[in-house]
Chains A and B, each alone.
Chain A
Amino acid sequence: MSDKKRAQKIADAIQSKFGDAVLEIEVAYDEFVAVVDKAIVHDVLADLRWTHHFDLLLDVVGVDCMELEPFRERFEVEYILYAMKSDTRFRVRTPVPETDLDVPTASDLWQSANWGEREAYEMIGINFVGHPCLKRLLTHHEFVGHPLRKDYPVMGGQWCSSTSEMKEELEESQGGAPGGSSAG
């Protein structure tokens, strides 16, 4: 069975299991994309993880669709999955409205979601609910705003007045303060 047939089968299984909450099944660049409602996105990912053996989460991507017409919602989160054993790729995409940026975390399913979601949080501003340490990853700790949003000025650099200590961050991520709420 070819990759495409395998992915087709998985897409069919997802669609029959979750019904109307699966908004669309797209094929882009020979890969299947399941566009799902964000209320069920964690269930879909868990199903792919445990039933369909997608053991690798390659990336979590936040997308600002402001300049793409037409779009469902302002933002999107996309999960790129890969099953090593069957050499199959699959993508899950969920629209996120500007008014409600909460998306359940996938870091309980794949460890690699941890940093991917932190990046999507800092660049686009998606709030991953239940993430162990939702803090900025690439920009400095005094940075305000989300630089990859289309309405953020490209040259909007922000000065950082002090160096930050990694120690504090490490301690927090190992079960100190609750993650996510105080991030900025």
Chain B
Amino acid sequence: MAIAKRPSTEMGQRLFEYAAAPEATDHLKIADSYALFVGGRFVEPHSRRRFATVNPATEETLSEVAEADETDVDRAVTAAADAFRSWSRLSGAKRARYIFRLSRLMQERARELAVLETMDGGKPIKESRDVDVPLAAAHFFYYAGWADKLEWAFPNRRPRPLGVAAQVIPWNFPLLMLAWKIAPALAAGNTVVLKPAETTPLSALAFADICQQADLPPGVVNIVTGAGSTGAAVVGHPGVGKVAFTGSTEVGKQIQRATAGSGKHLTLELGGKAANIVFEDAPLDQAIEGIVNGIYFNQGHVCCAGSRLLVQESIVEPLLAKLKSRLGTLRVGDPLDKNTDVGAINSRAQLEKIEGLVNSGIEEGAEIYQPECRLPERGYWFRPTIFTNVAQSYRIAREEIFGPVLSVLTFRTPDEAVEKANNTPYGLSAGVWTDKGSRILWLVERMRAGVVWANTFNRFDPTSPFGGYKESGFGREGGLHGLAAYVELS
């Protein structure tokens, strides 16, 4: 019996229509303004200043948050130092109990946190609901389990906490980055002063409420909101024993200079320009999904995003055809809609940075492709973008764009793929797509990157160390290595 041939071209070009499926927000209470969380209480800022945090999908102000000045930061560090004396002497088993509580409370309040994260940051609800929040809770659960096992984690090395940990986190995964920072710090017996990013402070303030609900001793976790100058005050405070920063390579270098000679322990998780390498024997449909996940996940606001696609020459044409067709099915728009794949760009400043780099790509001679899609009238949006005809010297192939923009380059031999993939000052992550296991491991040996994903991309787990080579920073977060970043060892 003959099988009727499906008119594939028509199907591929038809725009799928979806009814709106917005996530409910009525269970969420966002206050008109927030104070600083210092010593277990919400306290008015000494600075008397506040700034607005905006929903990037609507440009509406969600709330006003306090801007901590040096005095505020000093109070937070003092509270953390006071709390350190008892927290560090508490038995590991008791610390574990508190951290397990935090994890359970985050699970219980998961939907509230997910909606808040999406409203404040612009990421699709399906990502905050299925990735950010569950992973954040899992991090606390995993490190709770280490709190009473430090002697097993570092046998014969007398693990001791470092004191007050100053932690500055970015806006791309606000709650998850908070978890990466706070969970191992508390498990090892440190106390914390954390500064969330100025565009996404709300989930950290919700976490402060969770700390209260968990009866966490006052001062163990302190949250100070603000922008760069607040961050500099946190990092530069002399009462701090450990600095952990996730953000741009530029600021990371400033922090390394600022902490030089201070004796502070330092870990940095910085930018990236990951190569996602597709060999001709790769399962193509699977690779397409991996490429899309690699660069369009979270609007490309991912330090380990697969922003440089390296394709073996023999499959460039079929791969690009499939990739472009797949881009046509991505839903760009309301982050609170459960069908949305690509949400809002986090801020106007970030949108302008993306636009600037994309224009440079066009000017330098690359060929741009963007699918047709309707964008909302208000808010910050950028279409999923592919650049072909990209030379390694172009800015779009060298600089971190931190947006939904993919640069496609090609290679002929495995050696050439390695050469091009490593041709960057960054070294955070890499991806490889091939049917041959031996080739994956061959490539893994040659990648100068802290994480290599094989036939998958953008996977994260609390047990799995994450961090960069070269100018992507030093130190690891996650797993046993992530715990080591918060202890002094003999």
* B is a partner of A: no
